[in-house]
A = this chain, B = another copy of it.
Amino acid sequence: MSAPRAFVQWLTCRVRIVVLAGGYGGARFLRGLLGAVPDAQVTAVVNTGDDVTVHGLRICPDLDTIMYTLGGGLDEERGWGRVAETFAVRDELNAYGVGPSWFGLGDRDLATHLVRTQMMAAGYPLSAVTAALCDRWKPGVTLLPMSDDRVETHVTVDEPDAGRRAIHFQEWWVRYGAALPAEAIVPVGAAQAKPGPGVLEAIAEADVIVLPPSNPIVSVGVILAVPGVREALRAAPAPLVGVSPIISGAPVRGMADQCLRSAGIEISAEAVGRHYGARSAPGDGLLDAWLVDTADAGTEVPGVRVVPRPLLMPNPAEAATLAAAALEVARAVG
């Protein structure tokens, strides 16, 4: 990749980058970002709507996925949980007949939840707990929960046998593989939540803001549901670049299509770009630029500069190239 000299100078400063992240896609993008600009001050504002209490343990899947990925502890094959994981506790809980058996609670992972649960029981907010856990993992970015207030994404499903009911996002996602049609996806508690400490400040002080290829509904969408976040993004002086999680009409990974469908959004890079909308337009749009895959060249989002680039991140090097492209585009529109 070649870049203009001014851009390279900008990158060699301690450029401040804010990324609104879910788990898997957010973590991969962040790793690429650290590869591209090791000296950057990166702040990840992380979705906590997936958080769930299982066996009395407070579990934060997105925070942990990012922390483990950047700290070298993730099971890269599986894409979640700890490498070299064992499942003795889960097997024992099953032997006691204590559910939920569908939740993959690993032994190593469980220690993280034990520490978190204890600290929260002692009165520490999630942001402080996250900082304490990161003392060990040293992810190289500042991980900020989107909020210290409890937000849980629930999914309303309607089955012929079981009737209409709201289940936790984790149950819908993990137990049912997002295969139950979702009538609604609701971040319960988001409307009453306050942005976590440092979130609005990081956005206001950023040099670049990125929406990585995380799930637009249940990851980025839930962060945006916290009052004040969207307003801060629209008011921020930094350029805001989004990266499409959809390539050629299909999600790169995960089941973002099911989530988009429930929100009435077409499964395309263009539809997701239009869902985020243009920051330059009146209303609540966010994007200055929108990176789509080269396969989606021709995508049009009114008021937004659409840039086709290779979006797949099969390895950290490709992720770094993508992150550098996002920064370059940000610089160009900023």
Binding site for B on A (CB under 8 A): 55-57, 86, 88-89, 92-93, 95-98, 107-108, 110-112, 114-115, 117-118, 121, 133, 136
Task: List chain B residues, Cβ under 8 A from A121.
Answer: 56
Q: How long is the Cα–Cα vector from A133 to B56 in the complex, in angstroms?
A: 17
Q: Is A111 within 8 A of B93, CB to CB?
A: yes
Q: Closest CB-CB distance, A139 to chain B, in whole Å?
A: 15
Q: Is B96 within 8 A of A108, CB to CB?
A: no
Additional pairs, 18, CB under 8 Å, beyond known A55-B114, A93-B111: A56-B117, A56-B118, A86-B107, A88-B88, A88-B107, A88-B111, A89-B107, A89-B108, A92-B107, A92-B108, A92-B110, A96-B112, A96-B133, A96-B136, A98-B115, A98-B118, A107-B107, A110-B110
8 A-B pairs with the lowest CB-CB distances in the bound complex, closest first: A92-B111, A88-B107, A56-B118, A89-B111, A93-B111, A55-B114, A107-B107, A92-B108
Question: How many of these chains are in the complex?
Answer: 2
When C-beta atoms are compared, the residue in chain B nearest to A93 turns out to be B111
Q: How long is the Cα–Cα vector from A95 to B137 in the complex, in angstroms?
A: 10
9 contacts between A and B (CB under 8 A): A86-B107, A88-B107, A88-B111, A89-B89, A89-B114, A92-B111, A96-B112, A96-B115, A96-B133
Q: How long is the Cα–Cα vector from A283 to B257 in the complex, in angstroms?
A: 79
Q: How long is the Cα–Cα vector from A56 to B97 in the complex, in angstroms?
A: 22
Partner of A89, one of B56, B97, B110: B110
Task: List chain B residues, Cβ under 8 A from A97.
Answer: 136
Q: How long is the Cα–Cα vector from A97 to B136 in the complex, in angstroms?
A: 8
Given known A-B contacts A88-B86, A121-B56, A93 and B107 have beta carbons under 8 A apart:
no
Q: Is A108 within 8 A of B88, CB to CB?
A: yes
Q: How long is the Cα–Cα vector from A114 to B113 in the complex, in angstroms?
A: 12
Q: Closest CB-CB distance, A57 to chain B, in whole Å?
A: 8
Given known A-B contacts A86-B86, A86-B107, A92 and B112 have beta carbons under 8 A apart:
yes
Q: How long is the Cα–Cα vector from A88 to B82 in the complex, in angstroms?
A: 11
Q: Is A118 within 8 A of B88, CB to CB?
A: no
Given known A-B contacts A96-B111, A133-B96, A118 and B86 have beta carbons under 8 A apart:
no
Task: List chain B residues, Cβ under 8 A from A136.
Answer: 95-97
Task: List chain B residues, Cβ under 8 A from A56.
Answer: 114, 117-118, 121
Task: List chain B residues, Cβ under 8 A from A114.
Answer: 55-57, 89, 93
Q: How long is the Cα–Cα vector from A88 to B138 in the complex, in angstroms?
A: 21
Q: Closest CB-CB distance, A55 to chain B, in whole Å?
A: 5
Task: List chain B residues, Cβ under 8 A from A115.
Answer: 55, 93, 96, 98
When C-beta atoms are compared, the residue in chain B nearest to A56 turns out to be B118
Task: List chain B residues, Cβ under 8 A from A117.
Answer: 56
